[in-house]
Amino acid sequence: MSEERPRSPFQLLHLAQRTGARRLVIQSVPWLVYELPANPFDRRSSLTLVFESDDTMRRVRSFPADWRALSDVDLFSLSWTR
């Protein structure tokens, strides 16, 4: 049986904490960056790197495996890619 998809912001934050989320502050805006497993209904079936602030959420499908080792600026620049 597969793990249930997170549905609430609390569940997403819990998942982020379990998967080694990284916190950034860019131009005084705090961001949480974490990997999210593929949705069972997503034909691409790949991990997504999520960039989340209080009012924005971005998903990046193509990212380096060592994204945690990137500088804050380099990591944040990934949020503008697909």
Residue pLDDT, tens place only, 22-64: 989 999 999 999 998 877 776 767 888 999 998 899 999 999 9
Whether residue 62 is contained in a domain is answered as: yes
Residue with tokens 């209904």: 41
| Residue 52 counted as domain residue | yes
Residue 26, domain member (yes or no):
yes
* 4 lies in some domain: no
What pLDDT band is residue 18 in, cutting at 50, 70 and 90?
low
- Report the C-alpha gap between 65 and 61 in whole angstroms: 11
| Per-residue pLDDT at 15 | 60
| 3 state SS of 24 | strand
Domain that holds residue 55: 9-78
Domains in the chain: how many in total? 1
Give domain status of residue 13, yes or no. Answer: yes
Q: Distances in Å between the alpha carbon of 42 and those of 26, 34, 80?
A: 30, 18, 21
Q: What is the pLDDT of residue 33?
A: 93
Record the pTM.
0.73
Residue at 1 is within a domain: no
